[in-house]
Structure 1
Amino acid sequence: MVDTQLFRNGMSLLGGAVTVITTDGEAGRFGFTATAVCSVTDEPPTLLVCMNRNSYAHDHFKTNGALCVNVLTGDHQGVSWDFANRELSSEERFAKHSWTALKTGAPALDEALVNFDCKIHESHEMGSHTVFYCRIQDIRIGTADAGLVYFNRNYHRLCDQSVA
Structure 2
Amino acid sequence: MYGRQDDHRDVSRNRGAGVLKRQTIDSKDYRDAMARYAGHVQIATTMHEGVRRGVTVTAACSVSDNPGTLLVCLNHSNPHNELFTESGVFALNTLMAEHKHLAVAFSGRDHLSVEERFAEGEWDTITTGAPALVGAAAVFDCRLVDAKIVATHTVLIGEVTGLRIGPAGRALLYLDRGYHSV
Structure 1: how far apart are the matches of 2:107 and 2:80? Answer: 12
Q: How many angstroms apart in 1 are the aligned matches of 2:153 and 2:50?
A: 20
Match of 1:66 in 2: 89
Q: Following TM superposition, where does structure 1 have runs of at least 4 consecutive aligned residues deviating by more than 4 angstroms? A: none
Amino acid across the alignment from 1:96: E
Deviations 1:78-107 (A, max 9, x none): 010010125111111111210011100000
- TM-superposed CA distance for 1:56, in Å, is 4.0
What's the offset of the Cα at 1:57? 2.2
Asked if 1:154 corresponds to 2:178, the answer is: yes
**1:27 touches 1:63 (CA, 8 Å); kept in 2?**
no
Match of 1:115 among 131, 139, 145: 139
> What is the total number of aligned residue pairs between the two structures?
158
Deviation of the 1:27 alpha carbon: 6.3
TM-score by length of 2: 0.84
Are the aligned partners of 2:44 and 2:92 in contact in 1 as well (CA < 8 Å)? yes
Percent of paired sites with the same residue? 39
CA drift of 1:122 comes to 0.3
Cα distance between partner residues in 2 of 1:123 and 1:21: 14
Aligned-partner Cα distance in 1 for 2:121–2:178: 22
Give the strand-richer structure, 1 or 2: 1
Aligned partners of 1:81 and 1:144: how far apart in 2? 22
- Deviation of 1:117 (Å): 0.4
Q: Over the residues paired in the alignment, what is the CA RMSD in angstroms?
A: 1.1
Report the 3-state secondary structure (helix = DSSP H, G, I; strand = E; otherwise coil) of the residue aligned with 2:144: strand
* Correspondence 1:5-154 to 2 at 5 A: 5-26=28-49, 28-85=51-108, 87-154=111-178
Name which of structure 1's ranges 115-124 and 77-86 shifts more when overlaid on structure 2. 77-86
Give structure 2 stretches of 5+ with no counterpart.
Answer: 1-23
1:26 and 1:63 in contact (8 A); partners too: no
State the 1:25 CA deviation: 2.2
Structure 1, residues 30-53: CA drift from partner, whole Å, max 9, x if none? 101000000111111100100011
Using the alignment, how far apart are the partners of 1:27 and 1:55 within structure 2? 19
Q: CA deviation at 1:144?
A: 3.3
Which structure has the bigger radius of gyration? 2
Give the alignment's TM-score, normalised by structure 1: 0.93
Contact map agreement 1:27 1:60 (CA 8 A) in 2: no
